[in-house]
Amino acid sequence: MARKSAIPPSYYGQPHKFDPTFRGPIHHRGCTDVLCCVIFVIVILGYIVLGTVAWMHGDPRKVVYPTDSYGQFCGQQGTPNANKAILFYFNILQCANPTVLINLQCPTTQLCVSKCPDRFATYIDMQYNYRRNKSYWEYYKQFCKPGFNNPDKPVSHVLRDEDCPSMIVPSRPFLQRCFPDFITRNGTLTVANQTSFKDGHGKIRSVVDLRDAANGITSLLDAKEVGIKIFEDYASSWFWILIGLVISMLVSLIFILLPRFTAGVLFWMVIFGVIAAVGYGIWHCYWEYSSLKGKPDSDITIPDIGFQTDFRVYLQLSQTWLIFMISLAVIEAIIILVLIFLRNRVRIAIALLKEGSKAIGCIMSTLFYPIITFLLLAICIAYWAVTAVFLASSGDAVYKVMSTLPNCKYTNLTCDPETFSQSNVTKLCPGSQCTFAFYGGESLYHRYIFVLQLCNLLVFLWLVNFTIALGQCTLAGAFASYYWALRKPADIPPCPLASSFGRALRYHTGSLAFGALILSIVQFIRIILEYLDHKLKGAHNAFTRFLLCCLKCCFWCLEHFIKFMNRNAYIMISIYGKNFCGSARDAFFLLMRNVMRVAVLDKVTDFLLFLGKLLISGSVGVLAFFFFTRQIPVIQQEVPSLNYYWVPLLTVIFGSYMIAHGFFNVYAMCVDTLFLCFCEDLERNDGSPSKPYYMPPGLHRILDKTDQAGKKYAVS
């Protein structure tokens, strides 16, 4: 049956003609891009099947628990290793670095133990002392293979069969693995107050050898200690962090609703407030720089001291304040130049922002729509992460030959731990081990796990972009209903947000999925390019690096262009109900016919909104700084004791910015929709009684428009 439609005739780069029946978003519309909608639904069903198959074959325990040389989980309940949650390495000296250890690719036997060694000992010493005191063997055997209980076995045979480690060193668990307990005393690296140890083969080794074998572990352990302190700070300051975030939410809400009454004054206050704040920052940085200049040790550069957990160390360097001062001076210059050359455009942008505030005030429910978007995105991210983990943990235990000999031809070949000791590999490559490597298999499913991970990533990007597109189209439809109401708010239809959401899902799922797919493919290619760039960092081929850099730059530009076009295409879809290609074409030509307004007003509006985010997060951040540094006398006693005051401070600043960003995203979508409708309004109507403008009088006056037909208008 033919559908009723009030859609104006299609045009190819030509302005719309006046349509007296047009009253905003078309309500009688049909489904668009049906084929893409069907494909999208099929892909979602396939994604559910993929997750189900991954759930059937995967085992997250393989990720949660470390695995010994026999493929058994350490610490898994209901197994012999239930009380043995830590992985122990027979000879950690054979391990090259932490990455090798964590990936279980160290060519030495690995066992699950209940605790790490707390003393230095060798098997030779144990066997000697065992004859006098049986307790030596009772302690040492907990680090031997399960079932081995023959302390009288010759040492050479024990070490050959790797029944027990040749030595043990004082260790502590990290990432559920035993690592040497390094401690630096007076600049000297020690383990249990010793700088040397016996290796069990008749040699005296330095603890530096242990450090080289576990290179980077000390920094990781330090990071763990810092992490514990940060967790303690969050535990003691979470209530005040929450209060700071609530304050930022209220300030953001006021900032959005207030412009409908005092837009000009408010935004000019924001602009000059930011200029004044940045100017004060420049002066303060210069004062600190001048004060530190000439003081002992203040001329040390930041690279010389490296990373420090106490940020106050950096504030004692003159270079830090010089960097701050230059950065703030550049920001100040950009702001002032924008205001000087684009002051008239700023007035128009402020008028649009004022109208946007009125629109949001009339449709308050739009401020809460980001919660729906957040929940949908959380579901997408959770499903993708769980599927990725189950895919990564699919398969059976695969064992590979690990050898310390560089010329062993059997290295990395698969092997069977049950028959490995009887094979020729142990003779041709002495000291080699058949060690658990990873989980995999030879079935069709296991051979294509990497491809399935790529599919998981691509569909994840598609769903995320579809969710964002749905939100943009929904908000655009609601705000378009406001603009095209001749008498505001009397002519605004009831429940505009819910109606727009229903139209977007019912009629335009295919169009939104089409636009999201195009963007997802570009983002997918960018991820692959980033992966290749990471893998080729050590390459010395200058042409390859140059080509990769050019491709990354091109696809970055393409992604941002597609985002811009998709956003405007969704606005046109929400108004006219056309398919994606038609809406994108209409939006493109409409923007091209108003290219100067688009190029200037869009960026000026974004700039003003960015200043608003900066002001909100900065103001709340300053308040939090004075609070957590106990500089507010009235409530000094309420301030919790902290290890690092910057932990809650940065959390409040970042959280405030994200909250302001969420509110202002709705604001930005409102302004973009009103701007596109405004351009349509100028082309459809001329201000005469028969063709009245739908734009508000305030915006009309700023544009020097009159209600007389045929009069030219100019935007200075």
User: What are the tens digits of pLDDT across the range 612-659?
Assistant: 888 888 888 888 888 888 777 777 777 777 777 788 888 888 888 888
**What average pLDDT does range 239-263 have in this prediction?**
81
Helix, coil or strand: residue 710: coil
Per-residue confidence (pLDDT) for residue 34, from 0 to 100: 92
**What average pLDDT does range 253-281 have in this prediction?**
77
Per-residue confidence (pLDDT) for residue 298, from 0 to 100: 66
Residue 20 has pLDDT above 60, yes or no: no
**Residue 579 CA, distance from chain mean position:** 32
Instruction: Give residue 22's pLDDT band: very low, low, confident or very high (50, 70, 90).
Output: low
How are beta strands 121-122 and 196-198 bridged, if at all?
Answer: unpaired
Structural domain includes residue 675: no
3-state secondary structure labels for all residues of 60-128: CHHHHCCECCCCCECCCCCCCCCCCCEEEECCHHHCCCHHHHHCCCCCCCEEEECCCCCCCEEHHHHHH
pLDDT tens for 561-616 read: 999 999 999 999 988 888 999 999 988 988 888 777 676 677 777 777 787 888 88
Helix, coil or strand: residue 479: helix
Residue 101 has pLDDT above 50, yes or no: no
Number of structural domains (the chain) is: 1
Residue 25 has pLDDT above 60, yes or no: yes
Q: Which helix (H) or strand (E) holds 645?
A: none
3-state secondary structure labels for all residues of 222-233: HHHHHHHHHHHH
Count of C-beta atoms within a 10 Å radius of residue 215: 15
Judge contact between 394 and 448, C-beta under 8 A. Answer: no
Per-residue confidence (pLDDT) for residue 415, from 0 to 100: 81
Residue 49 has pLDDT above 90, yes or no: yes
Per-residue confidence (pLDDT) for residue 258, from 0 to 100: 74
Instruction: Give residue 442's pLDDT band: very low, low, confident or very high (50, 70, 90).
Output: low
Kindly report each contact of residues 60-65 with a partner whose C-beta sits within 8 Å and lies 24 or more positions away, as own/partner: 60/389, 60/390, 60/393, 61/393, 62/393, 62/439, 63/389, 63/392, 63/393, 65/176
Judge contact between 390 and 296, C-beta under 8 A. Answer: no
Calculate the average pLDDT of the chain: 79
Residue 525 has pLDDT above 80, yes or no: yes
Kindly report the pTM of this predicted structure.
0.69
The rounded percent of the chain whose pLDDT value lies above 90 is 14
Residue 439 has pLDDT above 80, yes or no: no
DSSP code at position 642: -
Per-residue confidence (pLDDT) for residue 631, from 0 to 100: 78
Structural domain includes residue 94: yes
Residue 713 has pLDDT above 50, yes or no: no
Structural domain includes residue 575: no
Per-residue confidence (pLDDT) for residue 289, from 0 to 100: 83
**What average pLDDT does range 278-306 have in this prediction?**
77
Residue found under tokens 């796990």 = 449
Task: For residue 544, give Cα distances in angstroms to 343, 522, 523, 530, 557.
Answer: 45, 21, 21, 14, 20
Rounded Cα distance between 170 and 116, Å, is 7
Q: Which helix (H) or strand (E) holds 664?
A: helix 646-684
Higher pLDDT, 117 or 545: 117
Per-residue confidence (pLDDT) for residue 138, from 0 to 100: 87
**What average pLDDT does range 197-201 have in this prediction?**
79
Structural domain includes residue 546: no
Structural domain includes residue 393: no
Judge contact between 613 and 661, C-beta under 8 A. Answer: yes
Angle made by CA atoms 86, 87, 88, in degrees to the nearest 5: 115
Residues 6+ apart with CB under 8 A from 627: 240, 635, 639
Residue numbers of the domain that contains 134:
86-202
